[in-house]
Chains A and B, each alone.
Chain A
Amino acid sequence: MLLPKFDYHEPSSVDEAARLMGEIGGEASVLAGGTDLLVNMKMGKTVPKHVVSLSRIIELKEATREQGSLTIGACVTVADLRELEEVRAEYKGLFEGAGSLGSPLIRNLATVGGNLVTARPAADLPPSLIAYGATIGLKKETGERTLLLEEFFRGPGETMIEPGEILCTVVLREPPPYSGGGYVKLGVRRALEISLVNVAAFLALDGPSGPVREARVVLGAVAPKPIRALSAEHVLIGERPDEALFEKAGEAAANDAKPIDDFRASAEYRREMVKVLTRRALRQAYEEAKLREWRRWK
């Protein structure tokens, strides 16, 4: 398949990229990993006049830890994300999510930022990132802003990103003591698979046996965008974490889901699976939370 013709730009800094996007943003596509953009261009779904590649911008490929937060550059690949010591040790839900995205070959190209701006309702990174309360940094020629990731998505392929704007960073706060996360994806195969349902959970407890101080449950592929299961969170907060509570939270989450019927699965099946996956994700989060005592990042 041939790619349509376009002018290619390769800025070497975020400032230069923002200036360029300010001039041609309306007619340009931003190229990061290319695993979605090139496919869409080959299928003729996207025909940009200009392609602005971020691949030469070193600052977007770095991850830095400072003052109780981890800042991940938007062009960190999904494979490199899994190699970050913090992600392995402190954000297990994100580690899981990154491991179920695409295939090893795709993960070596695909970027963290790309998996967010494409805004696919079944994407693998948004649920856990939202569950961990991630914020994102956006930049354009005239300034920059920070947004809660949860507020970034509008619907399939639609985000709050403005013309000329570039997603530059994803920021995670240091996990509180007695907190943990989990992510469970359901698909019919284990690689190159679009989730039928995916669920991420985050719990922060007052002590090793509870009660639950903070809870976030995020559902993917059962609404036009990843959504918080607010009534499930309500069920959890203030209670002692155990199987019976997770069961109740699962039922509440199933009610929060707004799944559709399609060729991958029926709405009824998806709703039932939300119940099961929420329970499992909460179990994972709790197992981790019990063990994580207060230890500040050095």
Chain B
Amino acid sequence: MKTMITLTVNGLKHELAVEPNRTLLDVLRYDLELTGTKKGCDMGECGSCTVILNGKPVNSCLVLAVQAKGSEITTIEGLKTADGLHPLQQAFVDKGAIQCGFCSPGMILSASSLLQRNPSPTEEEIRTALSGNLCRCTGYQKIIEAVRSVAERDEG
């Protein structure tokens, strides 16, 4: 039986009728057509489905949409500002921290959540914060460098 839920996604309120067995990931992708959130393993291992749920990055494949009722969610589509790309997005482009791009939304959301809590993290803290997001092509070095470049900018 479908249940009515309200989700605030990237600042916009949505009323949706969803079956209880649908994940937040599927509702974001298929009902709201926000396909920036990727579906990788669908088992909570890869982090490509990362979204910010009530201020915390989580695997959206492990959350039922009905559990998220009333929540505030930020997806990769919600990061850009009026001036253009979010500084982290721009840094990923500038540092070449991207190849196929499948892990990028999750990486960037995990990193943005870290920088919000801790504007000048150490390399170790960056690595820990991204440890739930797997990349299978670029490798991690450029991704870490991109995050560091934004962190350092904040410091100065």
Query: Are A105 and B110 CB-contacts (below 8 A) given A8-B66, A39-B44, A39-B62?
Result: yes
Partner of A104, one of B42, B64, B110: B110
B120-135 CB contact bits vs A (8 Å, 1 = yes)? 0000000011011100
A8 in contact with B62 given A34-B67, A108-B57 (CB within 8 Å): no
A291 interfacial by beta-carbon distance below 8 Å: no
With contact pairs A8-B20, A104-B131 given, residues A55 and B67 touching in the complex (Cβ less than 8 Å)? yes
One of B1, B45, B58 near A108 (C-beta < 8 A): B58
The answer to the question of B43 belonging to the interface, with a C-beta cut-off of 8 Å to chain A, is yes
Given contact pairs A104-B110, A106-B44, A192-B45, A38 touches B129 in the complex (Cβ within 8 A)? no
With known contacts A51-B20, A55-B67, A191-B131, A109–B43 Cβ distance under 8 A:
no
Residues of B with C-beta under 8 A to A2: 21
| Contact indicator A191/B56 (Cβ below 8 Å) | no
A1 located at the interface, meaning its Cβ lies under 8 Å from any Cβ of chain B in the complex: yes
A44 at the interface (CB under 8 A from B): no
Is there a chain B Cβ closer than 8 Å to A190's Cβ?
Answer: yes
Which of B21, B47, B53, B131 is within 8 Å of A190, CB to CB? B131
Q: Is the CB of B132 within 8 A of A34?
A: no
- B21: nearest residue on chain A (CB-CB)? A3
Partner of B132, one of A42, A51, A103: A103
B64 touches A34 (CB 8 A): yes
The residue from A4, A51, A109 contacting B62, defined by CB atoms under 8 A apart:
A109
- Cβ–Cβ contact A108 & B62, under 8 A: no
Complex A-B, nearest 10 residue pairs according to Cβ-Cβ distance, in ascending order: A103-B132, A191-B131, A8-B20, A105-B132, A3-B21, A108-B56, A108-B58, A105-B59, A1-B42, A38-B62
A-B contact list, 23 entries, CB within 8 Å:
A4-B21, A5-B19, A6-B21, A8-B64, A10-B66, A31-B67, A34-B64, A34-B67, A38-B61, A51-B64, A53-B64, A79-B56, A102-B132, A103-B131, A104-B110, A104-B128, A104-B129, A106-B44, A106-B59, A106-B62, A109-B58, A192-B131, A192-B132
